Amino acid sequence: MKEAFLDRMKEYLKDEYEAYLDTLQKPRFRGLRVNETRCSIEKFLEIAPWDCQPSAICPQSFYIQEEHIGNHPLHLSGVFYLQEPSASSAVEVLDVQPGEWILDLCAAPGGKSTQIASKLGNTGFLLCNEIEFKRAKILLSNMERLGFSEYAITNERPDQIAKALPCSFDKVLVDAPCSGEGMFKKHEQAMEDWSEEQVQFCAVRQREILRSAYEVLRPGGIMVYSTCTYSKEENEETIAAFLSEFPDMELIDCGVSFGRRGFELPGIDANKVRRIFPMDGGEGHFMAKMRKQGETPRRVIKELRPSVMDRYATSFFEEQLDVSDPYLMMQKEKVYARKQPFLSLGRLNVLRQGILCGEVIKKRFEPHQQFYMASIHQPHLTNVYEMNLSECEQFLKGYPIPASKRGFICMRYEGFPLGFGKGDGNWIKNRYPKGMRMNEQVKLC
């Protein structure tokens, strides 16, 4: 551990410094968060094969001891997201309400976006933005796996989002890129990259991102700023500078009991911000909640007209669902679905809006994995196959399943979707994406 970092922590923590040093010798906290659009907490606790201890930070979050459960069917089917409990704190402070329009400005890999989407419950609208393309693709895969539909993912600079969508959101989350001091036990590279110069660089970037967040927030809206680092420069000092620059932004109480008060600084009420240290039951987080003064409805974003569907796509939907998707959009032979109208997002680089249902190829419709993972489709699918654990493992490795079913079929385990196949009356041929298939040597958890 770098001496300059430890000197900082000694100054911050004073009498608690030795207790902090003791946490560095212990295993890091591990946890998961239940996706309630997929599964109730009660049912999850009945079927989960691990000891799950409740977290005081978030009702859907639990501490676990297991290290490698990413290949368990409950994870692959989007029932839970692997997330250290303190990482769920910022969204709890955001206090998401059904029907709200929310922007997650720095969204990858998707922990907070999937938490917001789960709380929205396929209502409202969530825009998830990530500036790095590779990380945006990871974000997209997580949103698909957990089955959400009322969202869009953009790959843009924050200032471009601000220009395109001023005053368009009820709430904005800025989980800012930071020096990652709270993640040292999880990511050794974060410790290697740490320096006081890096802390200062991050603080400058965070203030630039906050300026863009201010522009997209409607008057009366709520902004939550969070980091997974300890430095005052990236936390209280960044918020103090932001409030000074934008006097119509008011620091308000986070409204939670977990964690502890922040550090006193000019312009900052330490009781209104929250910090989590390892001694508090998490690896490290900072949160500040602010309100934009005034009260104005969010700016209306133009809605797109639903597309006229190709007959091959229409036939597919009629065969697969007992009700029609409310809104369908066809772009370059690909078909997308939402419960609510599609939005015109201008020239923003949009990776996805809504569910990618599939595409028309050579006079036939080829479905996409997300069609069968989407939570809005699950109650309405007419052709499903419930796998036992042995069949589940074979399916995830890409093998066909012997069964006397025909047509495209949603493949489930414990009632939860894992993907799809196509039956010929004797076998269900595997359509689980090749890039997601389990290695032959791997066994299910």
Which one is catalytic: 228, 254, 357, 392? 228
| Interacting residues of 101 by C-beta distance below 8 A, sequence separation 6+ | 124, 125, 126, 127, 168, 169, 170, 171, 298
The residue type at 303:
E
> Per-residue DSSP letters for 74-118?
HHHTTSEEE--GGGGHHHHHHT--TT-EEEESS-TT-HHHHHHHH
d(CA 145, CA 81): 10
Residues contacting residue 14 through CB under 8 Å, at least 6 positions apart: none
- Helix-then-strand count for the chain, H and E: 14, 23
Looking at the DSSP bridge assignments, the partners of residue 375 are none
Q: Which two tokens stand for residue 40?
A: 């109730």
Helix, strand, coil percent content, the chain, rounded in steps of 5: 30, 25, 40
Q: Are 125 and 150 in contact (CB under 8 A)?
A: yes
Is 228 designated active site?
yes
Residue with tokens 């938490």: 115
Closest CA to 275 of 286, 290, 263: 286
Annotated catalytic sites, by residue? 228
